[in-house]
Each structure stands twice: as structure tokens, then as C-alpha cells.
Amino acid sequence: MDHSMTTTTFALDGYRVVKQLGVVRGIVVRSRSLLGTIGGSLQTIFGGNITLFTELCENTRGEAFDMMVKHAEELGANAVIGIRYDATELMSGVSEVLCYGTAVVVSRA
């Protein structure tokens, strides 16, 4: 699925929803490595963007998004609307990232 066919809104310009296939999701549970935790802790001393954690978060969100798109494709969708993210700390250093939306079949308006 082309990423231009995914959106946080509930409509895609130039397309109309012809069939809703239901909620799709991608869930990733990630922990920080010991080296990443030490490196991130050292970065906090100097302030600013904690690049090790930023990269970890970005990769995790990307993986959850890709899993959601794959789930939608498995249902026969050609688009996903209403995309949202949620994150929960399950325990110290372990987080869940959830990406979800509504799988739909769209056609040109």
C-alpha cells in the first residue's frame, strides 16, 4: 500500500470509501538495551535532543505503522484512515507502541 493512501483524517481527497473493513493495528513492545540506556543517560547530562531514544522511538513507531499497513493489506484494503498512535510503559524501560486505524477500500471520486 502506498503511504499516500494512509491518513489521520477520515477521508482521502479525491477518493470515496466504498467499503469499511474494520480496525487494523500494529503493536510493538520494545525495551531499551543496557548500552542504549547508558548512552541516553550520558546524553541527558549535556541536554537537548536525546538522539538514542529519539531513534528508538522513531524506529518503533515506524515498525508499528508498517505492521498496521500489512494487517490492512491482508484484509484487502487499499487505504487506512483515522490513523492514531498510543504508547504505554508496561514496566520500567519496556514500552508498547500501538498504531491503529480503519482499513478501507476506496475508489476515485
pLDDT single digits (tens) 56-73: 889 999 999 999 999 999
Q: Which of 7-16, 29-38, 54-63, 95-104 has the lowest mean pLDDT?
A: 29-38
> How many angstroms separate the CA atoms of 55 and 51, rounded?
6
CB of 7 closer than 8 Å to CB of 84: no
Helices (runs of H) and strands (runs of E) counted in the chain: 2, 3
Q: What is the pTM for the complete model shown?
A: 0.84
CB of 80 closer than 8 Å to CB of 67: no
pLDDT at 22 over 90: yes
Full set of structural domains in the chain with CATH: 3-108 (3.30.110.70)
Q: How many CB atoms lie within 10 A of CB 103?
A: 25
